[in-house]
Structure 1
Amino acid sequence: MIPAAYCAENSDIKRFNAYETEKNPMKTFAGSVMRALTFLSLMFFSAISLAEIRSDVDRETIGMGESLRLTITGDASERLDQLDLAALQFDWEILSSSSSTNTSFINGARSTTRTLSLDLLPLRDGILSIPSLSTGGNRTTPIAITVNPQTVSAGGDDSVRFSIEIDKRDVYIQEQMILTVTIEQAINLDGAEVTQLELNGAIVEELTRRNFQRQINGRLWRVTQLRYAIYPQQRGILEIPSLSLTAREVLPGRSLLGARLGKRFRLSEDAIAVNVKPVPADFPGDVWLPAASLELAQSWSTPPESMEIGDSTTRTLTLAAEGLLSSQLPSITSMSDSSKITGIRVYPDQESSDQIERTEGFLGQRTRSEALVASVSGSWTLPEVRVPWWNTETDSLQFAILPSATISVGSLVVPSPVQPAAIAAETQTTTTPVWLNALAGLGWLLALLFAYMLWRSRDHKASDVAIDNTEETLRPLLTAMKASTSQNDAPATRQLLLRWATLHYQQPVRTLDQLKGLCDSGLADEVSTLETAIYSQSDEAWTRGAALYRAIRDEPKLGTTEQTDYRSLYPTA
């Protein structure tokens, strides 16, 4: 049984990088200050750009004399108590208002929501507007409300009314229909209970109940509506069973035993038969989707047409259907063939689903994200995606289409050395003496001989200086590598690993795939494990830091047999 409350008003890593600490302390301090100021600026402007207020109503069609609930929602920065409501009062009387604040923590981030609820009574019938309301530079979106003429009672002294209504009597299997149970009372009731709705062969989801006022023939009625979204699972005749209301009148005044109770009410409504049709024979999809609307969309964290080797981008696919539950929507995994593309590695994340209650039922959503990493240059086209669905408004087959997307990956841009400008020698119009040319040639020969002897004398010293410079560069880098791998900090380790590889192999190394082509199999296996941990977007932590560092220490230097042993530079503790 549904308790009497239904007839009452709702109550309201640490990232340690030792390599960076080897730099000039003053520059490090200045850089920290600049990063802090930049971060605070971004947070400030992001808050401004994301701040918004929105308005919702519990119904978009009412009768004259019926109240309407308007809910205005904003974030912590919004002062909803300072909303300018003057424009609202041209067509509406504000009966009451209430406010609330809700704070939650999601993934360690604090989120605060402020809500203002207004009960409104229309001043005239027709098409009225909830105007745009503003505060702090943000505005709500206007909402159109249809107000029908006032209901005229046929007479009688009835004080309690009970009715049930279904919005559709002819539906497809799994199509949403809304059952509304309405209780109208002009007197106070005690112990009001409605028969529990039980259906075989259908899924029933309860919607938010509505509470408002209605004025009929000058008499004020309190109205409570219990609403259910029903999804038939079998074709044929679905019977909505008879429902009844039991309650007792509360008389004015009080007795020694408490409230004075009057007559008892028991009101019933007959059962309702609904015709449930099967899936149309010409529907081509594997998953039957009867919806009022359906949309398939995608978004990219980085434009896919402007990537370079080693870059990654996150592709997010969203399927949303009005009139369906999230459990009725198909998996989006089968909608993408990107995992079959050679040269693009795909790391899919788990799908998420949600359903949002709207004025006319549920909006089901399913979202899937996948990280795409480019390992070679080239151009690929993700094929067009077509999802068939049945439009219940027009009773016709339609397709949600996701256009094809092109991924273009360019080669790494290596700056070309600047060529000295060619100096055009002016043509001499006069004849140069032979002895002068011979003297000039002898001078050039002596200069070349001197340069060669100087080069031979400094060759050995230059090689020693190069080795010393390499040692000085590797030392802080390896200290940072030891720290990041001991903490299993995958992002920091990746950056340090690419720097190390550039020095170790004496050539630019920009991607982990490029590194795996240069190193031994042992290090290549550990690099693959690191790459998977970074791009898989799973909750599993990377724990192979120590093994990766051992593989780095054991990696021989490329291309020489007699060389300086750098292994003494690698920290062991």
Structure 2
Amino acid sequence: MVTRILLLLSLLISSQAALALDNLTASVDKNPVLAGEYFTLTITAEGKVKGTIPDVSALSQNFVTSPVSTSSRTSIINGSMTSSTSWQVQLVARTPGEYTIPAFEVDGAKTQPITLNVVAQQDDEQSKDIFVKATLDSTNLYVQQAGLYTVKLYIGQDLLDGQLSAPEAEGATVTQLGKQQEEYEIVDGRRYMVITREYMLQPQRSGDITIQPPVFNGQVREGYRRMAVSAVAEAIELTVNPIPSEHADNWLPSEYVNFSAEWQPQDTNVTVGTPLTRTFTLTAVGVTKEQLPELNMEEVEGFRIYPDTSERKQITRDGKVISQLLVSFAYLPQRSGEFVLPEVSLPWFNTVTKRQEFATLPAKNITIKADPNQSKTVAPTSSSESAASALTDSATTAETTVQNHIPQWLWLITALGYLLWLATVVAWWLFHKARPTAKPLAQAEVNQPRNMGFADAVKKDDPQAFYQALLAYLHQQQQSLSDWLKTQPSEVQSQVHALQASLYGKGTGEINLKSLYQALQKAEKAHLQQQSTTPLDSLY
């Protein structure tokens, strides 16, 4: 019995020794390989490992890498136990040359480095089945200037599946623009399916930057076989110029900038209290929409100026990144007279002429007229007017005296006319009572502003949220704030102006949001009731 126990212990000890890490090797399935062709690196550990995964991060400096896959195998033959663990990673080199795959370490054991030869693909018919082209609109940019990087994958075979990696550039941000496009082109008399992707590239430092091209890896059908294919574009060298120190505070690099403004209404000869809307449009080529500067208007004596709407857009056209900013301001004249709005100037750096320029809007002359509907001061009554008034009073007194002697038959005619009028009123009342009553307006229609967040803003006493709800409501109605105010009663206009002054002006007074909300509901209800009244109702 003791002998059996000792024999079992010896077997366990020998098996544990057999499971210890004995050997660590690394190999590739192809050498040499073609540029843009995937190959497999395998790291194998003979014996027991502690679950450690080899660090392969150094490979990303020279290769495009896939995730690491792990497999294990254990076997017992004639009482002897063996174990092995393998790690595999797919690699591809973008450019030809001689590369060294470094040594890897697992549990204290190391592999031997591998020298790999990468050769250029031959320009033959086979290599023309699938290929990738990459272009950059300009290879000489400034820091933060946007360039358009375009990738085109040409596929001339029956594609089963595939992956196209993104370009990489150390020292620059690369962002894909929109979705990829698919179309067909004929190249050298052969039809290809072309997949196009556009990327915006923005260098963040000066100097030389190498744009590592995208790599395609996939499978195609050739007859009844599935074949692995791969392709890679050529790398592009980019020269990045630094930001000139004298323009660092207002840096806007572009090859073209356009700055314009429009007035609504176009006729700027308006009366006091009539709002004007001024919409600025700033367009720049070669920058992102986030790089466009904010527009702030200077205070003008005699006006209250409030921001209205703002919108930023970005598109690509003819290989260029084009951004646009639209900003509207409401100008509310406070008194009559002649006014001059100062010019608006924006500095920008012309990347073509390599000097600073200014996008300028000239000063604007505006004439504000007094409101003719304002109440006028009553002039003192002259002596002649007093005399005329006295004569009128005398005539009225005389007429009253004469009417005191009206004959009785005239009183009888008057009484009959009164009875006839009274009968007409009763008939009219009975007729309207018999008619079906008009359907009341739906509560949701009368209180349309309620759904836009007004009630919550009033409850929280949040003027900013109330103003944003008002802008959202007008946007839903497809109206601008200035046009809408023209149709509102003076009570609503004055309270909205007070709200704007508290948010964007120098006003510090308290705003009664509840009162303003009730005034908006009252005005909206009156507007809806006026729309629901038919021409036939007005006759009665």
Q: When the two structures are superposed, what TM-score results if normalisation uses the length of structure 1?
A: 0.46
Higher RCO, 1 vs 2 (CA within 8 Å, ≥6 residues apart): 1
Task: Return the index of the structure with the highest Cα Rg.
Answer: 2
